[in-house]
Amino acid sequence: MALKEIVKKDAANAYELVVTVDGEVFEKAINKVYKKQVKSINIPGFRKGKAPRHIIERMYGKEVFYDDAMQDCYPDALYEAAKEQGLEIVAVESLEALEAGKEGFTFKTSIVVKPSLTVEGYKGLEIEKKSTEVTDELVDEEIEKVRDRNSRLVTVEDRAAENGDTVVIDFEGFVDGEAFEGGKSEHYNLSLGSGNFIPGFEEQIVGHSTGEEFSIFVNFPEDYQAENLKGREAEFKINLHEIKTKELPEVDDEFVKDVSDKETLDEYKAELREEIAKRLADEAEKDVDNQISEKLIALAQEEIPEAMFDNQANDMVRDFEMRLRSQGMDMKTYMQYMGMDVAALKDMYRDEAEKRVKLRLVLEAVARQEGIEVTEADLDEEYTKMAEAYKMEVEKVKAAVPAESLTEDLKVQKALDFVKNNAVIK
């Protein structure tokens, strides 16, 4: 394989290559195609699948296997030609065979390659770190959450429904006097103020008492999922059976014994302080990382091929599909349930895909400019961590994760650590 010609096109990161595949490589590819296809070829005088190659070529032409053989050669030939020039292909826009024969074949291709950015300003980034102070208010908030989880609903009979209550209702909806599908339920438990129903529904139940029968009137949103109800006014007939309110436990030593392994409220608060302190520290650290990432993304000023954003979004869709499968759901079913298609999902990932690509390119530039390297010890340590995490043998992990790609990932991580260590965190 040899690169005959390389031309930089007007578009950013676009090249046109003319590549030659030598006769020996082409011959091996032709023979591989022949062995695969001969099984389904019938030639008079020969048993099916037993016709010699030269007989088939004499009958159908010497070029009979050329197209498939060239298809077999393209990936490696293109990869080697690009690698020779230090180019990393992110998209192939066209492939065209120019000539072919016993001495090999030549093809022309238009490619888009990964840019090699040059970045400045990544040292001394100013970062504002979030407070990690554990206040009495934060401790009280945590206790209130625990109280809420340990609350119980009790029936209220001496007052009307209030926001925050749970009401048990029968309801039936009508549009233009006609009942519509899905608009009816009996003994439904509805938390007032939850926003689970369309705007105006829950608010109009507030103020009514147990045993009342009444009507409320609402307008369905213009973007409502049911086409026949979009923007329509509806009447709902309501029968209010029961009002229930949340009863919270008292915060005392008995409460503490019920919800923890502590004996007193003071001990429990001390434990909560430790937990909150750890959570705040983790959140603050993640926020620092996020701020650094956003500032690094902003340094990507050079033009980046759209194909890279597209490829990243496709990868994210595939990752999402794998997660669905791990949960026992297929993509088609999920799409039908959500009322969307793969294109819409990909579009949803677009902004995040662009950020990931830019951040990676900037960090690769930092690693390159700072001469960051990955040692064999670094690789061994990472392979060991992965083996422990996935409960696999180290050698199997090495077989599944190429050292070359892991090396690049570790360089990026080291570059991020370098930027973080050189940031001004206030």
**In a 10 Å sphere around its CB, with 0-12 CB exposed, 13-18 middle and 19+ buried, how is residue 362 labelled?**
buried
Sign of CA dihedral 105, 110, 114, 118: positive
* 6-52 tens-digit pLDDT: 887 767 799 999 999 999 999 999 999 999 999 989 898 888 888 99
Q: What is the mean pLDDT of the chain?
A: 94
pLDDT at 264: 97
- Lowest-pLDDT choice from 64-68, 133-137, 179-183, 279-283: 179-183
Quick one: pLDDT at residue 203? 96
Give per-residue pLDDT as tens, 55-74.
999 999 999 999 999 999 99
User: What's the pLDDT score for residue 1?
Assistant: 57
- Residue range 380-408, pLDDT digits in tens: 999 999 999 999 999 999 999 999 999 99
**What is the pTM (predicted TM-score) of this model?**
0.76
Question: Is pLDDT of 298 > 80?
Answer: yes
CA distance 94 to 309: 19
- Crossing angle for the helix pair 306-326 and 342-369, to the nearest 10 degrees: 120
Q: Which of 78-92, 227-241, 289-303, 325-339 has the lowest mean pLDDT?
A: 325-339
Q: Span 274-295, mean pLDDT?
A: 97
Model confidence pLDDT, tens digit, residues 191-214: 999 998 999 999 999 999 999 999
- Greatest alpha-carbon pair distance for the chain in Å reads 100
The pLDDT, as a whole number, for residue 223 is 86
Q: Which has the closest alpha carbon to 374: 327, 419, 408?
A: 408
Among 3-7, 163-167, 285-289, whose mean pLDDT is lowest?
Answer: 3-7
